[in-house]
Copies of this chain bind each other. A is one copy, B any other.
Amino acid sequence: MDSSQFESVKTKTASLPDRVADQIAQLIIDQHLTSEDKLPNEFELASQLNVGRGTVREAVKLLVARNVLVIRRGKGTYIANNPGEMEDPLGFAFVPDQIQLAFDLMEVRLQVEPWVAKLAAQRRTSEELERVQAYRVLVEQEIEAGRDHLPLDMEFHLSIAKCTHNQAVPKLMPLILHSVSLFGSLTRRSLRSYTIKEHRLIAEAIADGDGARSETVMREHIEHNQQKLEAIRRQMEVSQEEKPK
């Protein structure tokens, strides 16, 4: 299970720097290196892996591109915070119909997030609950100050995902929350009125450890967002028709 597990994620017919990149990644996994840890220097890696320093340098560049390593200016090369976790890892930006994608993601959220809220209510620790409440308050402050609350809104939903004690859920959640950022600038204003109220209901149900109620209020929250998206799509279609060709 240990040394071969990385083989499966390796690209086929890989170049030498590619293969060395995989070896370095394997070394990070095997030695349980974390974001506190500095990568051994080029000389060491080159002699350890029996390749030239140029190859090591190329491999390091590849691992930076894959967010396994980060270069801290003037300090050296370190292990990334969430190694291997990419921004937009599924290439959502390349999907031609971004509006349909937002709807498709919302459909997934409607299936997944009420269940996540239920698990959160059942499994959360008091520290985790405190974090949910803290983000809820921060979102309210942003809304009341008239600022963009969406980045913190995502953190609120993510803090609920972390209450599930399922390691896969908080990793998957940013992907399905992508719909939020897609429609963010369009919906921001009109979402404000009910976001505060609904977030409070969700946090309350999780605090009470009430799985069924958490599920219900989360479902209603997402359905509400979905309806908002529908309204926006209709508006966009109308303004599209009015536009001269």
Nearest Cβ distance between residue A85 and chain B, in whole angstroms?
5
Interface flag for A46 (CB, 8 Å): no
Give Cα A101–Cα B171 distance, bound, in whole angstroms: 11
Give Cα A108–Cα B40 distance, bound, in whole angstroms: 37
Interface flag for A222 (CB, 8 Å): no
Tally of this chain's copies: 2
Cβ proximity bits A96-119 to B, threshold 8 Å, 1 near / 0 not? 111011001101100110010000
Interface flag for A90 (CB, 8 Å): yes
Nearest Cβ distance between residue A57 and chain B, in whole angstroms?
12
Tell me which residues across on chain B come within 8 A of A108, comparing CB atoms: 166, 168-169, 172
Interface flag for A228 (CB, 8 Å): no
Which of A90, A104, A115 has the largest number of chain B CB atoms within 10 A?
A90
State whether A94 touches B62 (Cβ < 8 A).
no
Find residues 71-100 in chain A having any chain B CB closer than 8 Å to their own CB: 82-98, 100
Cβ proximity bits A154-167 to B, threshold 8 Å, 1 near / 0 not? 00000000000011
A61-B61, A101-B168 given; A85·B91 CB < 8 A: yes
Tell me which residues across on chain B come within 8 A of A87, comparing CB atoms: 9-11
Tell me which residues across on chain B come within 8 A of A112, comparing CB atoms: 111-112
Interface residues of A, Cβ cutoff 8 Å to B: 1, 5-6, 8-11, 25, 28-29, 32, 61-62, 65-68, 82-98, 100-101, 104-105, 107-108, 111-112, 115, 166-169, 171-172, 175-176, 181-182
List 15 A–B pairs whose Cβ atoms lie within 8 Å, in order of A's numbering: A5-B182, A10-B87, A11-B87, A25-B93, A29-B93, A61-B62, A61-B65, A67-B91, A86-B86, A86-B89, A90-B171, A105-B168, A107-B166, A108-B172, A111-B115
